[in-house]
A and B are shown apart, each in its own frame.
Chain A
Amino acid sequence: MISIPLLIVGAGPAGLCAAYRAAEVGVDVLILDRAQKPGGQLVKQTHKFFGSEKQFASTRGIEIADILFKRLEDLPGRVELLTDATVIGFYEDGVVTAEVQGKFMKYRPEACIVATGASEKTLAFTGNDLPGVYGAGAVQTLMNEYGVRPGNRVLMIGAGNIGLIVSYQLLQAGVQVAAILDAADEIGGYLVHASKIRRAGVPILTRHTVGLAYGDEKVEHAIIHALDDEWNKIPGSEQQLDVDVICVAVGLSPLADLLWQAAVDMKYIGALGGYVPLRNSDMMTSVAGLYIAGDVAGIEEASSAMVEGEIAGISAAGRLGFSSEESHLLKKDCLQQLRQLRAGPGSEKIRTGMALAGAYV
């Protein structure tokens, strides 16, 4: 058993920002991440971020991953970041178990920040397990991390920000996008993303969904159809498309397995993507010393994940006895940033959801 002051699970935008703020005031931090390199999903975000300068607006996600990682050097607290390190257990007595580079390890952290992100939701349609039906994150990973085209012609399911952004990235990689479908009656993602896709000639069909996928052991065709106001299939509206990839971008769920294991109070809040941990304005859960940040705390943009990470880092450091006048001011500023990021008319559901989850809104 290894005793450590602060364990952060996940080296994505939230985890890296949490580590920075905690180490800045002198806390030694251990970050564990299951991937081979840090950055979480930032490493495949080739688009420029929205937000303000504080959240690296107009910088591409891939570059932000680098910035967040490099600024962890030479801080008062030592930051140790281990990749290929998957946390697999969180016990009610505070013990955390992990597979770290092929070894089974046990840790007893005084405080812990869970920043595990999210997993992709799936969609039930006939043929949904055919090879070629891929999650949007998988398509991004394959293209932007490994430089491999997922296919030649893609049908995108979901017109939220992920569906729109991944469609754009597919076009940039030289892959055709047949159409973007969404069962909702309006485009869920940012309009500027949608307009960018439309300019490239890709249709966005709202009130449409995929009925089935078929082909010889892989996706070759998709049948799509329109939906009425009751979400029922409109007879005769079927269209068949020749595509070799169906990309599913129907949303994310918080990846909260560890929090369930730790017996944190959870609540189902649809606007935040599913079951989320209840928290206070310090980003602490119902278990003392256990903090959360980023998508695991509710599905949002990476910009708010970074700010939540900072708050969790400052709060956890404070609990360990490391705080300063500046860190109090910084936390206030972060809370203000979050409020601004969530202030727009499009964030109304997020605001309601966050209030239900106990967040400062």
Chain B
Amino acid sequence: MKKDLLHIKREGLATADDLRGRLPDESTKKEGPYAVIECFEEIPCNPCVVSCRFDAILPFEDINDLPYVDFSKCTGCAVCARVCPGLAIFIVDESMQGEMGTIMLPYEYLPLPEKGEQVMARSRDGSELFPATVVRVLKGGKGKTALVSLEVPKESLQEVRAFSVIEDESPAFHSSETYDPDYESPVVCRCEGVDLNEIRDLIARGYKSVDEIKHRSRAGMGPCQGRSCRQIILNELARDAGVSLDEFEGGSFRPPASPISMDILAKGGEEDAENS
């Protein structure tokens, strides 16, 4: 079943609600490690289901299907966590006695922590939770995705989804610098230095096609041949006319598509003599 994805598509964050049906029942949780697959969007991707030796991920009818774990078969072997291109699979183990369990997280950053090291456990939105101890590190090997296990209180096992190696505070991004609002118009054609005001002015004066604007302003006549500016000019034309973009001609295209030196062009005849 496809759930309403809108909230995740705005934030990029799964909530407890999204995890329903993704976790085993309480008695199965005590039997051993299991995979939590946080893959909520139907995209064409199947390495997890193909890689599982225990057929513990329900078979796909279509490559866009969502993966669901059969917890009676899942051994928590982590093969799927290694191959998942989305790094969306986590291995939870709460089968041990006591307060603590472990969570294994895919990790593709440097430095790779070592066993016994204290790291900062983080939530799905990257916020700091608490310091945690690394209990196992599986290096990435050929696939380069390392797996790092943290010891975490059992009640936090579904909160921790990342960690960072503890380092100095990084500076804040927000700045107090003030901008002198000496307005300048955005550049549309980087080659010929034509700005948005010039384009809008031409459109207001009755130039109504990419080619007309090109001939008047030189926008699109530079060495890139309009690759940077054409789309913006088309957008402006369409907006002015209040119609969709497909009503405009794309403009004319002539060789050379990329700059070539006159020297090379002039010597081009030599090959003809050799090959004809």
Q: In angstroms, how far is the closest chain B Cβ from the Cβ of A31? A: 17
Question: Which residues of B have CB within 8 Å of A119?
Answer: 227-228
Question: When A and B form their complex, what is the total count of cross-chain residue pairs whose Cβ atoms lie within 8 Å?
Answer: 249
Question: Which residues of A have CB within 8 Å of B40?
Answer: 191
Q: In angstroms, how far is the closest chain B Cβ from the Cβ of A139? A: 16
- A47, B196: Cα distance in complex, Å: 37
A177-223, CB < 8 A from B: 178-179, 185-187, 190-202, 204, 206, 212, 214, 220-221, 223
Q: Are A103 and B250 in contact (CB-based, < 8 A)?
A: no
Question: Which residues of B have CB within 8 Å of A358?
Answer: none
Question: Which residues of B have CB within 8 Å of A346?
Answer: 41-43
A287 at the interface (CB under 8 A from B): no
Across the interface, B46 reaches (CB within 8 A) one of A57, A126, A179, namely: A57
Across the interface, A127 reaches (CB within 8 A) one of B64, B88, B184, B230, namely: B184
- A220, B242: Cα distance in complex, Å: 37
- A316, B250: Cα distance in complex, Å: 28
Q: Are A221 and B255 in contact (CB-based, < 8 A)?
A: no
A292-341, CB < 8 A from B: 303, 340-341
A32-56, CB < 8 A from B: 34, 47-53
A219-244, CB < 8 A from B: 220-221, 223, 239-243
Q: Are A1 and B272 in contact (CB-based, < 8 A)?
A: yes
Number of B residues, CB within 8 Å of A: 91
A223-279, CB < 8 A from B: 223, 239-243, 253, 255, 257-258, 260-261, 266-270, 274-275
Question: Which residues of B have CB within 8 Å of A345?
Answer: 2, 42, 64
The chain A residues found within 8 Å of chain B, CB to CB, are 1-2, 34, 47-53, 57-58, 60, 86-91, 97, 99, 102-106, 119, 121-122, 124-129, 153, 171-172, 174, 176, 178-179, 185-187, 190-202, 204, 206, 212, 214, 220-221, 223, 239-243, 253, 255, 257-258, 260-261, 266-270, 274-275, 303, 340-347
A-B contact pairs, 11 of them (CB 8 A): A50-B44, A86-B260, A103-B267, A103-B270, A121-B231, A122-B232, A198-B126, A204-B11, A206-B10, A242-B174, A340-B44
